[in-house]
Amino acid sequence: MRIILKEYLASLKERGDLDKSVLPNLLAEIGLRVLNTPMIGTRQNGVDIAAVGKIRGEDDERCLYLFCIKAGNITRRDWDSGVQAVRPELNEIRDVYLRTNVAAEHAGLPVRIILCCGGELDETVLMNWAGYSTQNESDRVKYQEWNGDRLADLMMRSLLARELLEEAPRRNFQKAIAMVNEPSACYDYSRAFLSEILEDGLEPSIQLFRLRQAYICLNAVTTWAIEADNLESIYTVSELGVLLCWNMVRAQPRRRRPNKHDQDLSVLFDQFIKLYLACSERYLTKTAFGHSNSLHALSTSVRSREAVDVNLALFELLGRLAIRGCWTAMLSQTFTVEEPEFANALTDSTHRVLDTIVQLVNSNPTLNSPFKDDHMIEIALVMYLAQITGSTPRFLPWLGSIAQQTTLALVINSHYPTCFRDYSDLLNHPISAEGSYRAEACSGSVLYPYLFVWLERVATVDEKKAFVERLGKFLPNCTHQAWLPDEETDVHIWRGETYHGVCVTDLSPQQGFEEVAETINAAIQNCTDINEISAVKSGLVVLFLAACRHYRLPIPPHFWLIDS
């Protein structure tokens, strides 16, 4: 475990990995109170992180800790100049920070100036460091070096120690690290150790500790997956982390005035979201953003002769794009007043996602013909994003094309949407043109009712008539339905349990639009438990939608047609 952690720390090269993600959580666990963390665009006077307190098991008195943090190894060329210049920042701490930035309540405390790096001090720079620290030490000010070994020891002792990270999660964490080249295995092991660390019913006193454990472990997995160039794993496990973190945060009582525990939980949840956003940006930059405008480029990149593989991969990518756009659209509204520049950047990101989705659909015709009935999830997320951004007209032709292609596929008996989920069933579908087979393959549908509702806005009278007649002829016994949350959904959905919710089944297009709309509206009015979903109550509708996509639950009709 110590070797894994040391290599992980040494690999943290990008700004924000060590100073914003790992070290603040570690310092909080070893007994220090973090006073500030780095902010982009502001002068730090040499200090990346300031903290005060006593390190458990080491300090006899409270000290003021001032950290100068560098990524990876520190070499001789980093001592005086370059991006990682060390001595100029140490001079600033001594000449500026200690004279002007120390609060009065900490003015009399002993000072520990820490040169911190995820790797090691190169042999060529050790003499420089020894000479500098000896020359500038005093009775009050002492210098220390915290390298990867020191940080790994602290993490083992405080966050990931054998007696704290128990055997089962420790083994699954190590397996997740070992399997970063295999996305499905990495996800399964990551889900196992995260679920074990973030178990239900924890006392408030250990919730923060467990969340920090989970965040550090998740950071390690994503970092190693990036090193292995496995972007699939970093996306799936980072999104999973957000959902499981919220499962713990949501259980906290809502107070008018949040206490320190509530605030700390909120900060940790923000860190999980930031990790997900960073991972999704890296994933989409490598995939959709770079190649969506090239005809068949992403379809070809699936590297499979099977049409089902291409279809599944492209719809998965579409859903991830849509939920990313929903996140940035929501966050841009959150930061409009407090940080207008950041809000504008998020708005630009949302527009980029919308443009990419249009390009993706235009360049990959398979997205007009969903092979799975639950691809309704991806289609509904795209249309929800379009509605909240006022972009609906851009996607109506695509929606009309899907309605036409899915029913035409029934006529020619070729890859019409099925409720089968097993890969071998999808690979061989359809194996027969008999009505009995279609009745089994399409025993229920959430896709056709969703398309039927939208066709009222999209299609001509003849197109709607053809849609209804084809369904009536080829799927006379299909149960057209919708899913809505119930009172147990908020308890189960965040961990991926799917046996909850209410199913409305009387949505056959043969009844006509008015009756279907009346049934849906009645269900929405009578099934009000969605308003009790913790994420919805907290203004995080996108988190609920992300959980639906992640765990393959249909998007409820509350989000089918909204006022944009």
Angle at 183 (CA atoms; ends 179, 187), nearest 5 degrees = 80
Using the predicted structure, report yes or no on whether residue 475 has a pLDDT greater than 50: yes
Tell me the percentage of the chain whose pLDDT exceeds 90. Answer: 69
pLDDT for 265-275, tens place per residue? Answer: 888 899 899 99
Q: Tell me whether the omega of the peptide bond preceding residue 430 falls within 30 degrees of 0, making it cis.
A: yes
Look at residues 102, 108, 116 and name the one whose alpha carbon lies nearest to residue 144. Answer: 116
Residues 465 and 434 sit within 8 Å (Cβ to Cβ)? no
C-alpha distance from residue 117 to each of 9, 35, 55, 217 (Å): 8, 20, 19, 19
Write out pLDDT tens, residues 156-206.
777 655 444 677 888 898 899 889 899 999 999 999 999 999 988 888 878
Residue 476 pLDDT exceeds 80 = yes
**Cβ atoms of residues 54 and 60 within 8 Å:** yes
Rounded Cα distance, 564 and 562, in Å: 6
- Residues 6 or more apart whose Cβ sits within 8 Å of residue 225: 180, 186, 231, 233, 234, 237
Q: What are the tokens at 115?
A: 């040169």
Contact 74, 119 (CB under 8 A): yes
Assign domain 1-159 to its CATH architecture. 3-Layer(aba) Sandwich (3.40)
What spatial distance separates the first Cα and last Cα of the chain, rounded to whole Å? 51
* H helix and E strand count, the chain: 26, 9
Distance CA(555)–CA(485), nearest Å, equals: 10
pLDDT digits (tens, 9 = 90+) for 482-540: 999 999 999 999 999 999 999 999 999 999 999 999 999 999 999 999 999 999 999 99
Report pLDDT digits (tens) over 284-317.
999 999 899 999 999 999 999 999 999 999 999 9
The per-residue b/e assignment along 263-276, b for 16 or more CB within 10 angstroms, e otherwise, is ebbeebbebbbebb
The per-residue pLDDT of the chain, averaged, comes to: 90
Q: Are 448 and 509 in contact (CB under 8 A)?
A: yes
The Cα–Cα gap between 373 and 376 comes to 6
Point out which residues pair with 482 in neighbouring strands: 504
Is residue 325 over pLDDT 90?
A: yes
Helix, strand, or coil (residue 15): coil
Structure confidence at residue 39 (pLDDT): 62
What are the pLDDT digits (tens) for 404-424?
999 999 999 999 999 999 999
Look-up of token digits 């090691």: 120
pTM recorded for the entire structure: 0.82
What is the total residue count of the chain?
Answer: 564
Is residue 481 pLDDT above 50, yes or no? Answer: yes
Considering all CA atoms of the chain, what is the largest pairwise distance in Å, rounded to the nearest integer?
90
Q: Tell me whether residue 485 is exposed, middle or buried, using C-beta atoms within 10 angstroms of its C-beta: 0 to 12, 13 to 18, 19 or more.
A: buried
Per the structure block, which two tokens stand in for 553?
Answer: 């639950």
Task: Write the single-letter amino acid at 36.
Answer: N
Q: What is the pLDDT of residues 448-474, one digit of tens each?
A: 999 999 999 889 999 999 999 999 999
Is 380's pLDDT higher than 60? yes
Give DSSP secondary structure letters for 182-204.
SHHHHHHHHHHHHHHHT-TT--H
Contact by Cβ (8 Å): 546, 243 = yes
Alpha helices by DSSP H, listed for 306-375, are 307-334, 340-363
Query: What mean pLDDT is predicted for residues 260-283?
Result: 90
- Residue pLDDT, tens place only, 80-103: 887 778 999 999 999 999 998 899
